[in-house]
Amino acid sequence: MIIYGTAILAVCHLSGIFLGDLLGTLLGVKTNVGGVGIAMILLICARLWLHKRGLMPQTTEMGVGFWGAMYIPVVVAMAATQNVVAALRGGPVALLAALGSVLVCACFVSMINRTERDAEAGDAAATETEAETDNRVATHRA
Amino acid sequence: MLELLEKTAKHNGLILAFAVVGLVMIVSMQLSRRLTMGRVHGSAIAILIGLLLAYWGGVQTGGKQGIGDVSLFAGLGLMGGAMLRDFAITATAFEVHVSEARKAGLVGVVALLLGTVLPFIVGASVAWSFGYRDAVSITTIGAGAVTYIVGPVTGAAIGAPSEIMALSIATGLVKSIMVMVGTPMAARFLRLRTPRSAMVFGGLAGTVSGVSAGLAATDRRLVPYGALVATFHTGLGCLLGPSLLFFVTRSLVG
């Protein structure tokens, strides 16, 4: 039954939030520490455990899958209920923080991927300058 | 007649919210396909429309909850509230396949950690340089630079005010759109050719919508590899943001 899946998700969610609150209290901060992350790990474990025992039929999976698919719509609703007027008073913080992190990450991706042995490595040097220009154009347009 | 319609809507707030968001999604998907040729993912456009609606609501009512303050649309506040949001995000962990994830190996883990810590440092530094001095605001904005999910989840956990949350979402959103649009153009600089390079990219760039849309426009075959690592990104960020990263930030700014 579909509700089994949703119930498993609910139990993992509640346990994760509870453990997050507990961890927060133990650490002396009055906040939830990684509750959602803990819930996600619990769900992955629960899925593996149930799957191994053949207790995870398709309909049960659908009970979780539905909520997983709902996360973009829920985030849209969340965006629509934020205090955007106040955020805009924050000025160019969002733009700069985003641009900065994209540039830093792009450099690291490029650096790590350059360590990979590649049959096509020969043509890499030739296109490098051009690619960097591309990257600059990309960030400008964004 | 009109009164009766209004009454129906007000008494079924959450149901109306489902219909409204569905409408926003269909409009965004069409805009994505027709205006940007699929280059900017529909979900990013939908979130942008959401933020615009929030702005309109804020201007109309002077409240703090965006369009949720317009009494007719109060149900959006429930749908986008912490309860359903965290529930839906937890559910996405279900799509992670552990055996496949192992193939990403060490390089994927390194990319994931860098992809969480580096944007956080950049975001937190920008927040600091713009005069935010409290650990909660700096952490929330820094987490927003990781992804637009990690930002509000972290903010909610450590008790950030709504305008900081909105700023954090805006940061993650701008980043996501930059990744979507920029990836195909920067593909050669990024060396996006092999599954391994796509996994590195997925770990560092983070946002699932940004990565999957960006890779789809670069090379469709690379999409699952990038998305696989990126699905861990939100979980890792949600785990580290309100815990380790918050504590480090708090110890640094006092």
Residues A41 and A68 in one domain: yes
Assess contact for B240 and B139: CB atoms under 8 A. no
User: How many domains are there within chain A?
Assistant: 2
Residues A101 and A78 in one domain: no
Is B92 contained in some domain? no
User: How many domains are there within chain B?
Assistant: 2
Q: Average pLDDT in the B60-83 region?
A: 87
Q: Nearest-CA distance from A124 to chain B in Å? A: 8
Contact A110 B209 (CB under 8 A): no
Under the banding of pLDDT at 50, 70 and 90, the label for residue B103 is low
Is A87 contained in some domain? no
Residues A28 and A64 in one domain: yes
Query: Structure tokens of A125?
Result: 């040097």
In chain A, residues with a C-beta closer than 8 Å to the C-beta of B145 are: 97-98, 100-101
Is A36 contained in some domain? yes
Contact A82 B59 (CB under 8 A): no
Among candidate residues B20, B54, B80, the one where a domain is terminated = B80
Is A59 contained in some domain? yes
Substitution target from B69, B83, B94, B97 for chain A, most A beta carbons within 10 A: B94
Residues B197 and B103 in one domain: yes
Is A88 contained in some domain? no
Return phi, psi of residue B243, to 5°: -110, -95
Residues B128 and B193 in one domain: yes
Among candidate residues B45, B80, B115, the one where a domain is terminated = B80
Alpha-carbon dihedral sign for residues B44, B59, B141, B234: negative
Q: Mean pLDDT, 10 residues at a time, over chain A (142 residues)?
A: 94 92 76 75 89 89 90 83 72 86 90 69 40 46 42
What is the tens place of the pLDDT at every residue in B237-249?
A: 888 888 889 999 9
The DSSP code sequence of B149-208 is THHHHHHHHHT--HHHHHHHHHHHHHHHHHHHHHHHHHTTTTTTTSHHHHHHHHHHH--H
Among candidate residues A57, A82, A107, the one where a domain is terminated = A82
Residues B102 and B33 in one domain: no
Contact A106 B186 (CB under 8 A): yes
Under the banding of pLDDT at 50, 70 and 90, the label for residue B153 is confident
Substitution target from A8, A49, A84 for chain B, most B beta carbons within 10 A: A84
Chain B CA closest to residue A6: B91
In chain B, residues with a C-beta closer than 8 Å to the C-beta of A32 are: 157, 242
Residue B82: per-residue pLDDT:
79
What does pLDDT average to over chain B?
85
pLDDT of B51 strictly over 50: yes
Question: A100: domain range?
Answer: 93-141
Residue B101: per-residue pLDDT:
59
The closest CB to that of A87, out of B76, B77, B167, belongs to: B167
Residues B70 and B111 in one domain: no
Q: Average pLDDT in the B22-31 region?
A: 94
Is B88 contained in some domain? no
Residues B32 and B70 in one domain: yes
Substitution target from A15, A60, A109 for chain B, most B beta carbons within 10 A: A109
Among candidate residues A82, A104, A131, the one where a domain is terminated = A82
Residues 6+ apart with CB under 8 A from A140: none
Q: Nearest-CA distance from A75 to chain B in Å? A: 6
Chain A CA closest to residue B187: A131
Residues A49 and A100 in one domain: no
Predicted ipTM of the assembly: 0.73
Question: B31: domain range?
Answer: 2-80
Q: Nearest-CA distance from A102 to chain B in Å? A: 7
Is B246 contained in some domain? yes
Residues A100 and A74 in one domain: no
Among candidate residues A82, A101, A125, the one where a domain is terminated = A82
Substitution target from B39, B51, B76, B190 for chain A, most A beta carbons within 10 A: B190
Q: Over the range A102-138, which residues count as b (16 or more CB within 10 Å of their CB) and which as e?
A: bbbbbebbbebbeeeebeeeeeeeeeeeebeebbeeb
Is B75 contained in some domain? yes
Is A108 contained in some domain? yes
CB atoms under 10 Å from CB of B45, counted, come to 22
In chain A, residues with a C-beta closer than 8 Å to the C-beta of B79 are: 73-74, 77
Residues A18 and A65 in one domain: yes
Residues A60 and A130 in one domain: no
**Residue whose entry in the numeric block shows the structure tokens 């968001």:** B21
Among candidate residues B26, B50, B80, the one where a domain is terminated = B80
Please name the residue ranges forming H helices in A27-123: 35-52, 58-69, 71-80, 84-88, 93-114
Under the banding of pLDDT at 50, 70 and 90, the label for residue B86 is confident
In chain A, residues with a C-beta closer than 8 Å to the C-beta of B114 are: 105, 108
